Structure 1
Amino acid sequence: MAFEGLAERLQATLKKLRGKGKVTEADVKEAMREVRLALLEADVNFKVVKDFVNRVKERAVDQEVMKSLTPGQQVIKVVNDELTQLMGGSQSKLAQSHRPPTVVMMVGLQGAGKTTTTAKLARYLQKQNHHPMLVACDVYRPAAIKQLQVLGEQLNVPVFAKGENDRPVSIAQEAVTKAKEEHCDYVLIDTAGRLHVDEELMSELADMREAVSPDEILLVVDAMTGQDAVNVAERFHRELELSGVVLTKLDGDTRGGAALSVKAVTGCPIKFVGMGEKVDALEPFHPDRMAGRILGMGDVLTLIEKAQANVDAERAAELEKKIRQQQFTFDDFLEQLEQVRNMGPLDEVLGMLPGMNKIKGFKNLQVDENQLARVEAIVLSMTPEEKAHPEIINASRRRRIARGSGTQVQDVNRLLKQFNDMKKMMKQFTNMTKGGKRRRGGFKFPFMQ
């Protein structure tokens, strides 16, 4: 997960201040020394680190903070505020032209995931009830046009493409005209990349900018390249006047330095972040929410938005009623499992809850996708009556279900026990407002290790 190392260091450092009844200037200096090291290890630009630490230190030793009833908490608030400002302060939304279509040029080096990100942005716009068109202007990379066409077909989004011998600038111009005819309100141009920045590439992109007057020029960069991503952003911004940055692979094993540096160094806001391989794994970037996640405060708003996008409200109300009446079935279980999976990796979803990082064992939580497939196979091997009434599943039925799902009887026994435990826990959660006691010990979902 992105920022994992940085988050652990910062949270450990600030934890020392949190419970202090009195915080001295020496305490703040010691904490800032640790913060400085943590940021540098996360590959944050050294000038950015210096400015950040100085701003926090200046605000943290203010008399109002020092003499407050909770000085430790106030210092943490200062760090949170400055971290938010460092990443842009507030969400920078995608432009929308008053005279459609809105033209978006996607630029970047090869290997950053530009073509896939262009398709992901189309999917994001679809969810916002827009009608995007994809444009294949990378005529140099083998199979780039075909890749975009395949992605467009998956999304049911029109793709404008011509031959590899056509000029990219002409393709872009014709695409904008075609989009107007077909009433598409966004044109997403997948431009050619290079292994490194060169004059020929920049000249072509500059000509395209002049020809189609884009409302947005978004640079797609790989967050895992650290400071190199910031250097690339600087060069592209100097040549093309970028309107924003999309960071890909932010869900990978990255230190997060690019996300914390790019706005401060280039002035370009981060507009989206790629959080996975799926076509819907593109999220708007919220500096305040990311700061909260880094400092262990959770990200409840993003979690709520994910739930709203993936959970049917009427079905949820019906499910709550079933839980209260102890009528939760294996069919309901499969449906809920699919909805949760659509929200993203379970460990990341749980990580958005405030305080989850403090729970013992949470950092080692792993979701075993193979085990999840086995669980689904077991449930799908049950008859409709068995799914609705698991209590009727006797020894012979368990053997039949195990054979049908390619698993062992012990696997079926384990799932049935965990399912019963889950039903009890869900019942207790719904009764908490009535004075129900929280169950001690807990249990593991059948797809966790």
Structure 2
Amino acid sequence: MRHTPYPHSYYAASASPAPERPALQGAHETDVCVIGAGYTGISTALFLLEQGFRVTVLEAARVGFGASGRNGGQIVNSYSRDLDVVEKQVGPRQARLLGEMAFEGGQIIRDRVRRYAIDCDLKDGGVFAAVNHRQLKALEEQQALWRRYGYDRVELLDASGIRGVVNTDLYVGGSLDMGGGHIHPLNLVLGEAAAVESLGGIIHEQSAVVRVQPGERPVAYTEHGQVTARFLVVAGNAYLGDLLPSLAAKSMPCGTQVVATEPLGEELAHSLLPQDYCVEDCNYLLDYYRLSADKRLIFGGGVVYGARDPADIEALVRPNLVRTFPQLRNVKIDYAWTGNFLLTLSRLPQMGRLGSNIYYSQGCSGHGVTFTHVAGRVLAEAIRGQAERFDAFAALPHYPFPGGRLLRVPLTALGAWYYQLRDRIGW
């Protein structure tokens, strides 16, 4: 039987102890079968269990193996395309529903951490950093936009203000969102998985689903077993493969790279990020960084379209790390890893239903930590028969990438080059 371990990363090396769950064997029945034990799948399972459903989760590798256990660990509000873009695509009622949910994910995470005593190094405060004055103007507009939806936790920072929260000369200003924050992402999902099991949920690892049989009672088949359910939830995201080709056709896996330095020590770490906030810049291909609990700098960025694993991750990330913090020019990198997220053409998430009882959510496009937790609540609501919020997402158009699978990577890369050029010249 194939055994897929966690990738070599700082998160895997510092993860809380967790059991290795047995692979699925034989035939089983349940109310809801969830495919994928990342944030989306585990969040959905937890909401359903709290409502009294029987739930079985099937995971191809380990809990949090994919993006949920490899990401930058930042709690970021809204979607990868902000609410002004949403407003242009949908009517006022749908925009109101989507706008209300844009700030819900971080609160769900905090509620989970408190309720289930999850140790994941939760810290409040996230900074958006403007590299030029065009970006700073956009942050001012974002603050006003978010206030229209009742969210008022954003403080604008001028050049002096942002220098007080991140010790670099790179930025002209920014904004501070105290509803943002950061966590140890793998420990969060491991803690949520433990909560699932505490409520009677069943999780099978090393249990890749190889076939789905639709019907009145759909069936998920693995190599050595099968689960028959009233409902299926498909939550594989960038690691779903071609299990359901109709979902793969309108999304594209992309890789992002992350490094973790050696421990910097309290004094140096404090000098870089005095309030221990996380930071992301406002470039199209953005950099993001924060401190770990043991005072390493975790720094990520860049996108590899099509999700190839780069030969030298450190060589891709270190130049931007040093450009941001020249004082770390000689710092040692202890860990470097890559992970895949799922991109949609609209950069908005895709949620929907295949037939009457197979639900899916995918394509967070870089905002997965928060949106996946919202998705879990919304999918659970829909399965319980309360579909208003689900329908607001399901009505968003799901566009195919131009050029299909053959040309989607080069055409997307060309578009990214254009936006990178705009960032460089401040246009």
What's the TM-score, normalizing by structure 2?
0.23
Q: Which has the higher contact order (CA 8 A, sep 6+)?
A: 2
What's the TM-score, normalizing by structure 1?
0.22
Q: Which has the larger radius of gyration?
A: 1
**Is the strand fraction higher in 1 or 2?**
2
